[in-house]
Structure 1
Amino acid sequence: MGRIDVFVAPRPNPALIKVMTIVNRIVMLRGVPGFRDLLPFNRLAGLRGVANIRHIDFPVADQQKLQACCGEGQATFITPNHPEFFTDWMIDKEIVSRVSPLAASWATHGVVNGLGRLMQKFWLANNLIAQIPGNSEAAKAHSVDWALKGHGVLLHPEGSVGWHGNYVAPLLPGAVEMGLAALKRGRETNKDFKVWVAPVVWKLAFIGNVERPLARECAYVEKKLKMESVAAGSLPERVYSIYSGLLSLDEQACGLTAEAGASFASRQQRVLAELGLRLADAVAAEPDLDLAELLRRSRRWLREGKADADEQKCENWRKRSSASSASAPGPSPIRR
């Protein structure tokens, strides 16, 4: 296997983690005071803050509650549930820095292992755990060990990431599985040992009127998708029109016709049901499985297919090597 698929245990460097917490807070989130609102500096992402998060409203009571779940004598698995990528990671990092500074964080193996040896050392020193699809047992075992030392483990992302800020999507089973493993080990020496699975939910809010910039974004999307613009309508109507147009394309691909007056949700459900039937047929699964279970089996089917393909490649390589060795000429006579 290549380096990207091999688990290497993190080697956290507290000094580096502390420095990167400050870098994240200033460069990635808030920006540099005095420059973040001053032209032309506010056009530079690092001075404005890449994610442009001006303030995190983290109530003291909530912070104390989460902090009380972290620390020596207990194990904690922090499970953020949030609406989008990149910004969520930066906010999660800020949150854990306040409650468990040496918490380990799960991240995709493409980041931890896939950017070269030097970057791998950097991410491991930042206490990142590589999430390797189909090969997560070592990561889980390390996570349990680290949690038992009293440091939190941030499982990122936990649950289905989507555009929803007001409810918690179904959690993935890994947090509970690791929690139960930690509880079993902790109770061997302390019958009162506690393990926490701590969901963290937050949402973003604009602090100014962003209607005009969002309208420009809509125009860009409409142009790229070659969609008819409804610029005369309100911004919500325009966004709905874009999503409805995309759904129409999915309906056409599935051979479905939208019923007159049907809601977006019902149309989307019909598309998902049709795609679910096709997916179940492709992976030889029962057609009446719920979507979450069907997707889980499909991911396993893909992993097993990749493993079979890799094994076949190795077998072909061995055959070619054997054939090459058999046909190779013997040593040439030495001429004097």
Structure 2
Amino acid sequence: MSKIDVFVAPRPNPALIRAMTSVNRIVMLHGIPGFRDLLPFNRLAGLRGVANVRHIAFPDADLERLKASCGAGKATFITPNHPEFFTDWMIDKEIVSQVSPLTASWATNGVVNGLGRLMQKFWLANNLIAQIPGNSGAAKEHSVAWALKGHGVLLHPEGGVGWHANIVAPLLSGAVEMGLEALKRGRATDPDFKVWIAPVVWKLAFTGNVEAALAKECAYVEKSLNIERHATDTLPQRIHHIYSTLLTRDEAAWGMPSDEGQTYAERQQGLIIELARRLGESISPEAAITDTTELLRRARRWQRENTGDAEGQKQVRTLADAVQRLQRVGPWASANPRITQEEIAEHLKRIRNDYCRGGLRDTMNRFIPQPAGPRCAYIRVPEAIGLHAYAGSIDDAVAELHRRMQETVTSTVTELAAKGSFIFYPNPFYRR
């Protein structure tokens, strides 16, 4: 294995973690008052707040609910939703600093191990656990052992970022599996030992109208991808046109006809079905796999087990990447007749992440995406699941976790909409 794929146990440094909590709060989130709103200082991310989260609305009742699930004598696995990259760890760190400062947090191996030896030491001292794709046994073992010491373990059950804050994606089962293992070990010495799966959700909302900044970013995307803008299109229509053009290019690249009479969702689904069929034939000609989640899982396993087949590796990887990328615009995109500025911003970030790869600016955007304006983070804590008192299966627990997270996200969005926190536009993806 290469060094990026080798698990190294975190070495948490409490003093560094405390110091970075203050740095995170000022430099990464809130910015410096007096500078963050003044030109030219507000153009410097460190003075403005890199994630530009000016306010955090974390009700006392929710904070106390999370605190009750953490601490000595119990194992706690904290499971936030995952609506945005980079901002995720900044908000997660702010949350755990108030309930369990020595919480260990899962992160991709590309971040923990892939940025050089000094950065690896820094991340390990900040108690980050490197997720090694296809080989997570050591990370899980360390997580269970750390949780049994009374410190939290934080991981995103959605896996990767989808840039859809109003929708919680299907969840992975890792937190529940590790929780059950911690329960078994804890009960070996203490029959009253408790294990909690503690969900957290947060929703970001702009504090004002950022249409001009969004239009500027949209123009950058159009130029980068060589997509002609229609002069009369509204901002949401420009987003729809970008996606439609990219889909037409994908159809042409894979030899599929493009039916302009169909909706975007119909064309997208037709291409996904065809590419999934080809992927299935590449990895398992004898079995028809209709579920794309299972198909992609098997494709990853096929790649691990067939490293000697260079041509097959390239074909499977290309097909799997295409299916995964196309699926990132889910049915939620066309579910509502209105679209918010926050959802437009998510579309732009998703497009830039998936298609814009021209240079340093786009690379930086993937690692540290910059928001269109100041925001407020609304943090809510659903009721935790006590695995010590849960009689259902792993799948049942994951489904219940998803239900609680989605219900809380939906109620938070509804609450904010009722308060006038969003600016709405007609949604060009919507079809009755």
Smaller-chain TM-score bracket: 0.7 to 0.9
- 1:320-331 to structure 2, matched below 5 A, reads none
CA change 1:307–1:115 in 2 (3 A) is farther
Q: Would the aligned equivalents of 2:157 and 2:175 in 1 still touch at CA under 8 Å?
A: no
- Which residue is 2:296 aligned to? 295
- Which residue is 1:194 aligned to? 194
1:113 aligns with 2:151: no
Per-residue displacement from partner, 1:129-178 (whole Å, max 9, x unpaired)? Answer: 11112221111000000011111111146335212222211111211111
1:182 aligns with 2:182: yes
- Which residue is 2:79 aligned to? 79
Q: Would the aligned equivalents of 2:51 and 2:87 in 1 still touch at CA under 8 Å?
A: yes
Cα offset, 1:115, TM superposition: 2.7
User: What secondary structure, in the 3-state scheme, does the structure 2 residue paired with 1:277 have?
Assistant: helix
- 1:154-169 to structure 2, matched below 5 A, reads 154-156=154-156, 158-169=158-169
Question: C-alpha separation between the residues in 1 aligned to 2:233 and 2:205?
Answer: 23
> Amino acid of the residue matched to residue 306 of structure 2?
G
- 1:82-161 to structure 2, matched below 5 A, reads 82-156=82-156, 158-161=158-161
User: What secondary structure, in the 3-state scheme, does the structure 1 residue paired with 2:16 have?
Assistant: helix
Per-residue displacement from partner, 1:63-100 (whole Å, max 9, x unpaired)? Answer: 21122111112111112222221122211221221221
Q: Would the aligned equivalents of 2:157 and 2:174 in 1 still touch at CA under 8 Å?
A: no
Cα offset, 1:13, TM superposition: 0.9
- Greater RCO, 1 or 2 (C-alpha within 8 Å, sep 6+): 2
1:8 aligns with 2:8: yes
> Amino acid of the residue matched to residue 291 of structure 2?
D
* C-alpha RMSD of matched pairs (Å): 2.0
Cα offset, 1:259, TM superposition: 4.0
Q: Would the aligned equivalents of 1:160 and 1:170 in 2 still touch at CA under 8 Å?
A: no
TM-score (norm 2): 0.68
Cα offset, 1:47, TM superposition: 0.6
1:63 aligns with 2:69: no
Question: C-alpha separation between the residues in 2 aligned to 1:226 and 1:84?
Answer: 26
> Amino acid of the residue matched to residue 203 of structure 2?
K
Stretches of structure 1 lacking an aligned partner (at least 5 in a row): 310-336
- Which residue is 1:331 aligned to? none
CA change 1:264–1:196 in 2 (3 A) is farther
User: What secondary structure, in the 3-state scheme, does the structure 1 residue paired with 2:206 have?
Assistant: coil
CA change 1:2–1:164 in 2 (3 A) is closer
CA change 1:157–1:73 in 2 (3 A) is same
Quick check: which has more Rg, 1 or 2?
1
Q: Would the aligned equivalents of 2:82 and 2:156 in 1 still touch at CA under 8 Å?
A: no
Q: Would the aligned equivalents of 1:160 and 1:169 in 2 still touch at CA under 8 Å?
A: no
Segment drifting more, 28-37 vs 158-167: 158-167
User: What secondary structure, in the 3-state scheme, does the structure 2 residue paired with 1:95 have?
Assistant: helix
Cα offset, 1:260, TM superposition: 5.1
CA change 1:208–1:267 in 2 (3 A) is same
> Amino acid of the residue matched to residue 217 of structure 1?
E
CA change 1:32–1:169 in 2 (3 A) is same
Cα offset, 1:201, TM superposition: 2.0
User: What secondary structure, in the 3-state scheme, does the structure 1 residue paired with 2:198 have?
Assistant: strand
> Amino acid of the residue matched to residue 188 of structure 1?
A
Q: Would the aligned equivalents of 2:112 and 2:129 in 1 still touch at CA under 8 Å?
A: yes
Q: Would the aligned equivalents of 2:76 and 2:147 in 1 still touch at CA under 8 Å?
A: yes
Percent of aligned positions that are identical: 72
Segment drifting more, 91-100 vs 190-199: 190-199
- Which residue is 2:24 aligned to? 24
Q: Would the aligned equivalents of 1:81 and 1:159 in 2 still touch at CA under 8 Å?
A: no
CA change 1:31–1:176 in 2 (3 A) is same
Question: C-alpha separation between the residues in 2 aligned to 1:307 and 1:183?
Answer: 41
Per-residue displacement from partner, 1:286-336 (whole Å, max 9, x unpaired)? Answer: 333311111111112222234898xxxxxxxxxxxxxxxxxxxxxxxxxxx
- Which residue is 1:269 aligned to? 269
Question: C-alpha separation between the residues in 2 aligned to 1:170 and 1:193?
Answer: 29
CA change 1:82–1:110 in 2 (3 A) is closer
> Amino acid of the residue matched to residue 154 of structure 1?
L
Q: After the TM superposition, which segments of 4 or more aligned residues of structure 1 sit over 6 Å from their partners?
A: none
CA change 1:5–1:160 in 2 (3 A) is closer
User: What secondary structure, in the 3-state scheme, does the structure 1 residue paired with 2:54 have?
Assistant: coil
> Amino acid of the residue matched to residue 125 of structure 1?
A
TM-score (norm 1): 0.86
- Which residue is 1:48 aligned to? 48
Question: C-alpha separation between the residues in 2 aligned to 1:50 and 1:82?
Answer: 18
User: What secondary structure, in the 3-state scheme, does the structure 2 residue paired with 1:66 have?
Assistant: helix
Q: Would the aligned equivalents of 1:168 and 1:201 in 2 still touch at CA under 8 Å?
A: no
Segment drifting more, 83-92 vs 14-23: 83-92
- Which residue is 2:219 aligned to? 219
- Which residue is 1:249 aligned to? 249
User: What secondary structure, in the 3-state scheme, does the structure 1 residue paired with 2:57 have?
Assistant: coil
Question: C-alpha separation between the residues in 1 aligned to 2:48 and 2:158?
Answer: 29
